[in-house]
Structure 1
Amino acid sequence: MQHRTQIRNVLLLGSALAVVPMSAWAAADAPASAPSSPAALEAGAPVGEVTALTDVVVTATKRETNLQDTPIAISVMSREALENRHVQSLMDLADGAVPGLRIATFEARQSALTIGIRGIVPNDANQPAREQGVGVYVDGVYLGRQHGLGAALLDIERIEVLKGPQGTLFGRNTEGGALSLVTRKPTGEFGMRAKAGVGNLNAYNSELHVDFAAIGDFAVKMDGVISTQGPVTKNPLPGEEGFGAYDRRGLRGQVRWTPTANFTADLAADIGKDKNTPFYSQLLNFNPNGLKVVPWTSTSIPSGSIRALAPIVQVNGDSIMKVADIGVPQQWSVDDTKGVDLHLSYRPNDNLELRSITAYREVAVEQYDNIAGAHRPPVVGPNANFSRYSLAGLWQHQFSQEVQAVGSLGDRIDYVGGLYYFKETASDDAATPSTNRWNADGTGYTILDPTPTIRGFRSIDRQSRAESESKAVYGQATWTPAVLNDALHVTAGGRFTWDDKSGVLSKVNNAATNFTFQEKNERFNPMVTVAYDVNDDVNVYAKYATGYRAGGASSRSLTYRSFGPEDIKSYELGVKSDWLDSRLRLNAAAFYSEREDSQIDFSLVTVIGASTRNTLETINAPGTTKIKGVELEGMARVTDALTLSASYAYTDAEVPPTRNPFSGVVQQVFIAFTPKNAFNLAADYSAPMFGATFKAHVDANYADATQAFDQFELKNDSSFIVNGRLALTDIATRDGGPSIELALWSRNLFNEQYVYRRDPSNRATIGDYGNFNTPRTFGLEAMVRY
């Protein structure tokens, strides 16, 4: 009922925006064009001043192409779209801005993100020897770890979401696709943008972007960002951090050297600090298995029974708790990222460009996660220790080198070829001491000596190190034969990859071990696409693509159990089309994928004394995982002032039953965080007003309920999130002075609250616990632009 009410509200708001040109803004400096009827547009009748949709440039094929002419399923979020949604980090895209793209936290921690496309969603890829299933790139540089992906975004020009395997041009670990972030480059002309804003939950954000005037052949650009928010759930323990807070800061400098018209060198360096706290894990229910309940003060728990809750423990499965029921020690988790990259481009002639991308990156994480209080074991009883403090560190550094040749052979063949090298070293450790101790009657607790939480005094659950080296050579060419009026385009390509990976689990349960693994893999990943231009505005294509995700070992395993790589083959049919003189754009893709040796996670939570251990084993599922789906995207320029857009994704995945290594039982398994149905609707309005420009944006995002774990059928909640923004832009100050923009924004406008992660691991000892999404946030922003 709540979803239906919110959908009705969005439709009403969309209707209001549609009639805006006819009423409220009639007094604007220049009247907006009246919308024309679809019949009139089809008949070619006069349509006033309605202009066409703009072309979108993408680099999915390693060269700049028009989105509508590129035979790949791609969704693009422009700089303006990101601003309209108040997207400050990739975390903000978890609301479903792109229906086929799924982003979630690992556990409830903001320090590591799970990113999935088309049902390829690795649930726990944040260990040193685990890999992602979707490649994340910034200006062509691969980011090897999920850690640090929640950092503040630094002046992004656009985000390209490439759907389906990208193993030929982008390499391993791109089974589901690739997320490519493209930043704004120095222009050599002076310009400055300064932004500041405030919001609820003690939020504050500021940005400064300065393009300096060129000095000789050099252009310089500097970007700085600060984005902070206070806790969503307060921690009642004085002096400790709350839950769901963040403080993200980033700084980047770029230098572009252009000594000649055919040579460019871009050097960039960035540094970021992402301080965050996890979302509070609430007890959603108690004793869902219906066991016999014995009093809290009982000295023993008979088989088939469960201890009653302590009197101060609260159960709330309906809404996010504003104040936690249990106060616990909680510090900031800190992700430090840094990197430098050098891009070289040389064009010896009009038909060839030679490129080099050299990059070095580091990420260091100190994680503090005390999110559950008494909402999961160990909750042993009177005078017992409880509240599991997950303390972990991860340190990674990587070097990559890529050389590309992009060119054309006459008018019939366009090609790209390259060599790639990647070297990574990553290590981690983890400890889980308890921080609280129950009083005898369960009405209070004391805080334990913090010494076991301090690095150097911890009892280490696990400690591991992994190294990976990858080499590849790839090539792809598109041939347009001199038949069918140059309407046929055949693309073929392939990538040879050689991987060498090894690791050691050096400590388990604070005891030295020497468990190791090593694997070497060779892969050839081909791709073939046949595209046909039905006319200048309609293009259809059929595509066969492959990819693979490297194997590894689980550092959460007691024996460092290794697992092999997984491989995927994908078949896709698509159409891209513009209609009504490019005022209506409709794109569609249907796909079917077969994945062999799917990597499936099984976990077992055990109580060890006054703490718990989460043991995780990864198994290659037998047989073939089948994933099929449909993706639709549409956009319409209704008037010069009003643009409507919509997108939809249907994804159905079937994983073969797999043997649980803990129970020995063959069971049904699932793909996490993959809704069967998801859609997005948006309306954008822009018109002159009082010598400036008024802009309004609203978007609505729905997703079906999903699983949170591979091994559990229990689902999270469905979601329906609405975002909005109103802005007055291009406010002139004086001749030659800056322009000003004022904006009011809201995320989760209707304060929808849903469980995005539901965990049934502890049903036999207490109940299900889980995490709610961020409640409504809103704020004001001002920007000055020179």
Structure 2
Amino acid sequence: MSKVTQPRRAQFKTLSYATIIGVALSSAPAMAQNANDSADEGKNIIVVTAQFREQNLQDIPLAITAVTGEMIEAKSQTNLQQVADTAPNVAIRPQGASFGPSVTASIRGVGQNDFNPAFEPGVGIYIDDVYYPQLTGAIFDLLDVDRVEILRGPQGTLTGRNSAGGAIKFFSRKPTGDNSGFVEATYGSRNRIGLRAAADFGLTDNLAMRISGVFKEQDGYVDRIDYGCENPTSGIPSTNAGGGDCVVSKLGGIGYQALRGIMQWTPSDRVELTVSADYVKDERTIAGEVLLNTGPVPAPNTANNGVPLSNNFICGKFCNYSTTGQPGIVWQPALEVAPGVFIDPLGAAGTVLSATSGTDQSKYTGWGVSANLKIELNDWMQLTSITGYREFDTEFFTDDDLTPIHTNFGRNFLTNESFSQELRLNLEPTDGVNVTLGGYYFEQDSVYDSFQDIRYVSVFPLQFRQPDPTSAEAKAVFANVGWEVTDLLTINVGVRYTDESKDQTYFRLNLDGTVNRFVDPVGAANGIGSPGALSGNTAHYSADRLDYRVAVDYRFSDAFLGYASVSTGFKGGGTNPRPFNADQLIPFNPEKVTAYEVGFKSDLLDNRLRFNGSVFLNDYTDLQIPVNACPGAPCAARFNAGDAVVKGVELELSAEPVDGLLIDGAVSYIDQKLKEGSLNPAAAIPPFGTNPGGVDPSDPPTVPKWKANLGMQYKAELGDSGSITPRLDFTYQAKQYTGPDTSVTPRGRTFLPSFTTLNGRLTWRNADEDLDISLEVTNITNEYYFLSRFNLLGAGGGFDKALPARPREWALTVKKKF
């Protein structure tokens, strides 16, 4: 089909090996390539499609981390989070139990930490060029992956949507019809069992199919303990009817199954149709969080047999006392809400709250189908159609405080379906000119049906169901032109016009379907949809936007490419999806960014050293931030805080100093500052104004200021006995801002502490290279660190909790190719 653009470089021999050492010490790596044949000029060619056509990674004026399936395997990586850990200024993290099977995703400080479908992710995730619209279920297993491309910086003109921070693209191995395949089995720590397999076969001369699957199980690593059983004199009754062991279950387990089928039909040398389908089932215990701190809870409805919430319920590094429900009670307000001020709102005293119950299980089921059709209309014109449909549903339960004290329990159900269609017309009207014209359509329908039993609020009872539907639609047209002005100079210009809309309808209901009078008194009195009611109210958001990108690259030598670019992007707006009264229907505008980037790409010393770098400055308007204080209490809203400047540096390295020795790594730095004169008075930051939300976003959210990683492996040939390859991977991340904490100071902030990890892998491969036996150890030093944190002390929730990473684990894997 389309041809790879050949690299405009040969070999360059101007740096000394001393320079290699200096670069390796001052930077760090991120490249994925098998480089055993040093003399082969094409050995380092990684083909990517970021600019709508197949190009060499080193010829694109864009910061990209491209990782092949071979390097993913060498690093013992099995999911998206692990790949993101090696990319500069990229953070993908699993969320705690309160957010279900979802992730936080951020590139260069732009992203999202809330799975609610009313929010836009800010980082576009694509599976074989089909957009995945949610953060739920986004810790993808790297099942039979050909490569992963991580594009940093706004991709508004190059990808479907929601890529203001960047885009992550998965590309599956396509069928070739060569009757090949593999089978892989793993056993490891805590009864870890893993099975992977793939088969590639030809059905006819022009029809091939590839089927792959994965099965993974592992016991959890955080003990859920029955507090009353372990502390029989505490006054809190045990729920362990069987007695004996007080450990009820192991949280943070794995129970994952996936199947993918891809069929490729090439009826002629000008037509290629690829159809794929996949199915995922993820059933496991919820994320294993631990309690870090507690605070005062003013409501008198939370104590268990008179025992209040306190630090006595802090369990340890890998355990908690969470429960799976809350008893029915007669709600009583905290009469004295301020010195001398007493309240009994809406006659709430004596209101009966129903008992709530659930499980400690998280369930996710998803599937999708897609079709990619390419037609070579003539020698200089190609038409591409990309059609995709995806659907998932998930169910999870949360005891937010992780104790037997009854502050907050939730039952959560989320369904989502989406459809997308993209058309591209690629033209090469003359040598050195590549034009892409296209159109894009996307629609999504979600229902987030949540039942909340919140008892830490002293003003009125909060026990309600919120089956809120959200629908979204986006349409776009785009154009991109690449012009090789000379053999050395290339200019790329792209534009995209987007028109998008979103509707969310709110319901705040009792269990019997009637309107809840405490959250929605107007709706309870006058009916759903009545003026001023929350229930039946539909918040509408719409916006249109013209984004552009201009990039210029210059080939200074065969080995060195420099580039500069300016691009724009945006993250869509909307309305607060979690209002606790009608006054909290607070809209927020799109977050807009203009990004400036200067970078270089180099292949030096006979292609033994690849060294890429970039410096960027992102100028933001209407930065979106979460707040936990707004009209009424509690609150979980978004505000446009104002404008901000984010700047950073990224370096990537890959080297083969001698045959068989591979070194790869990366280092990055990022800094964010709010523009003082731009602050929104509604969400102003001290000392510049009042701060209702306790927010100080002077740190980039969901990404650490510093990241570094370094990997080394050496393939030792053993003749007829095959080869043995040891590998070590080092990762460092600085502390990471996760949100406000006003429990101590108005400008308090919450962070994840810094951490350093070391992973190792030893692989023996037979002489025919069709049998591998690998021993891996992850987190060799048994570093204790956190992946996410949820702090509601400032909001009166009474808890600060975190999700610890997995302790040291080992696994033995056998893989047979055929």
Q: Give the TM-score range, shorter chain.
A: 0.7 to 0.9
Q: Does 1:575 align with 2:575?
A: no
Look up the SS of the partner of 2:286 in the other structure.
coil
Residue 51 and residue 241 in structure 1: after superposition, are their counterparts in 2 closer, same or farther (change >3 A)?
A: farther
Quick check: 564-573 or 209-218, which moved more? 209-218
The Cα shift of 1:503 comes to: 1.6
State whether structure 2 residue 615 is matched by structure 1 residue 590: yes
Please state whether the residue corresponding to 2:310 is helix, strand or coil: coil
How far apart, CA to CA, are the structure 2 residues paired with 1:432 and 1:100? 35
Counterpart-to-counterpart distance in 1, 2:631 and 2:188: 42
Cα distance in 1 for residues equivalent to 2:78 and 2:498? 35
Quick one: which amino acid aligns to residue 170 of structure 1?
A: T
CA deviations over 1:452-473 (Å, ceiling 9, x no partner): xxxxxx9544221111111111
Aligned-partner residue type, residue 777 of structure 1: E
Could you tell which deviates more after superposition, 55-64 or 682-691?
Answer: 682-691
Q: Which residue of 2 aligns with 1:58?
A: 48
Closer/same/farther in 2, CA of residues 107 and 462 from structure 1, 3 Å limit: farther
Instruction: Provide the TM-score with structure 1 as the length reference.
Output: 0.81
SS in 1 for 2:113: coil
Matched-pair contact (CA < 8 Å) for 1:110–1:277: no
Percent of matched pairs sharing the same residue: 28
Deviation at 1:522, TM superposition (A): 1.1
* 1:500 shift after superposition: 2.2
Partner of 1:466: 470
Aligned to 1:551: 573
Q: What is the letter of the counterpart of residue 735 of structure 2?
A: A
Which residue identity does 1:641 align to in structure 2?
G
2:720 is the alignment partner of 1:716? no
Q: What are the superposed Cα offsets for residues 535-582 of structure 1, whole Å, 9 maximum, x if unpaired?
A: 111110110011111112232122343211111100000100111111
SS of the residue 1:82 aligns to: helix
> Cα deviations across residues 170-218 of structure 1 (Å, max 9, x unaligned)?
1431011000111100001101200010110221111110001342321
Instruction: Give, as a single letter, the amino acid of the residue that structure 1 aligns with 2:320.
Output: A
Contact 1:218 1:257 in 2 (8 A): yes
What is the TM-score with the length of structure 2 in the denominator? 0.78
Q: CA shift at 1:331, angstroms?
A: 3.0
Return the offset for 1:81.
2.0
Alignment partner, residue 668 of structure 1: 696
1:488 corresponds to: 489
Counterpart CA distance in 1 for 2:387 and 2:105 is 25
Greater shift after overlay, 706-715 or 270-279? 706-715
User: Which residues of 2 match residues 706-745 of structure 1 at below 5 A?
Assistant: 706-709=736-739, 712-730=748-766, 732=768, 739-745=770-776
| 2:275 corresponding residue in structure 1 | 267
Could you give the per-residue CA deviations for residues 684-710 of structure 1, whole angstroms, max 9, x where no partner exists?
A: 211322531212221111111011125
Q: Who is 2:110 aligned against? A: 120
Instruction: Pick one of 792, 801, 815 that aligns with 1:769.
Output: 801
2:671 aligned with 1:652: yes
Query: Which residue does the alignment assign to 1:682?
Result: 711
Q: 1:274 & 1:49 partners in 2: Cα distance?
A: 41
**5+ residue gaps in structure 1?**
1-35, 43-47, 301-306, 380-385, 436-457, 608-612, 733-737
Matching residue's letter, 2:17: P
Structure 2 CA distance for partners of 1:325 and 1:497, relative to 1, 3 Å: closer
Question: Which residue is equivalent to 1:532?
Answer: 554
Number of the residue aligned with 2:184: 195
Distance 1:298 1:387 in 2: 14
Aligned residue for 2:58? 68
2:649 maps to: 630
Q: 2:61–2:551: 8 Å Cα contact kept in structure 1?
A: yes
Cα separation, 1, equivalents of 2:644 and 2:691: 22
User: What is the aligned partner in structure 2 of residue 618 from structure 1?
Assistant: 638
Q: Which of 357, 363, 386 does residue 386 from structure 2 map onto? A: 357
> Which amino acid counterpart does residue 536 of structure 1 have in structure 2?
D
Work out whether 1:785 is the aligned partner of 2:785: no
Shift of 1:655: 3.3
Distance 1:392 1:40 in 2: 55
Q: Report the aligned-residue RMSD.
A: 3.1
Distance 2:776 2:594 in 1: 42
Further displaced range: 210-219 or 176-185: 210-219
Give me the whole-angstrom Cα distance separating, in 1, the residues matched to 2:395 and 2:634.
19
Instruction: For 2:271 and 2:673, locate their aligned partners in 1 and report how far apart those are by CA, in whole Å.
Output: 50
How many residue pairs are counted as aligned between the two chains?
A: 684
Report the equivalent of 1:129: 118
Contact 2:792–2:798 (Cα < 8 Å) also in 1: no
**Matched residues in 1 for 2:116 and 2:283: separation?**
20
- Matches of 1:110 and 1:84 in 2, distance apart? 30
Tell me the CA shift for residue 287 of structure 1. 5.8
Q: CA deviation at 1:371?
A: 5.7
Q: CA deviation at 1:521?
A: 1.1
Tell me: CA distance 1:151–1:676, structure 2 relative to 1, closer, same or farther (3 Å).
closer
Q: Deviations over 1:455-507 (max 9, x none)?
A: xxx9544221111111111011111224xxx2111111100111122121122
Which residue in the other structure is 1:395 paired with? 415
- Is the alpha carbon distance of 1:330 and 1:749 closer, same or farther for their aligned partners in structure 2, counting shifts above 3 Å? farther
Cα distance per residue 1:409-436 (max 9 Å; x no partner) = 211211222111111111101123489x
Contact 1:168 1:527 in 2 (8 A): yes
Q: Secondary structure at the match of 1:63?
A: coil
CA distance 1:710–1:118, change in 2 (3 Å): farther
The separation in 2 between residues aligned to 1:326 and 1:343, in whole angstroms, is 47
**Match of residue 98, structure 1, among 77, 87, 96:** 87
Partner of 1:324: 320
Residue identity in the other structure for 1:213: G
In the alignment, the residues of structure 2 paired with residue 353 and residue 393 of structure 1 have an alpha-carbon distance, to the nearest angstrom, of: 43
User: Is the CA contact 1:240–1:330 (under 8 Å) kept in the aligned structure 2?
Assistant: no
Aligned to 1:83: 73
Match of 1:747 in 2: 778
Partner residue of 1:454? Answer: none
What's the counterpart of residue 603 of structure 1? 628
Q: 1:85 Cα deviation (Å)? A: 2.7
Counterpart residue type for residue 257 of structure 2: R
CA contact (8 A) 2:96 2:789 kept: no
Asked if structure 2 preserves the Cα contact closer than 8 Å seen for 1:197 and 1:780, the reply is yes
Shift of 1:235: 2.4
Once the two structures are superposed, the pairs formed by residues 136-535 of structure 1 within 5 Å of their partners are 136-237=125-226, 241-285=249-293, 309=310, 313-316=313-316, 320-321=317-318, 323-325=319-321, 328=324, 330-370=359-399, 372-374=401-403, 379=405, 386=406, 388-433=408-453, 460-482=464-486, 486-507=487-508, 511=516, 513-535=535-557
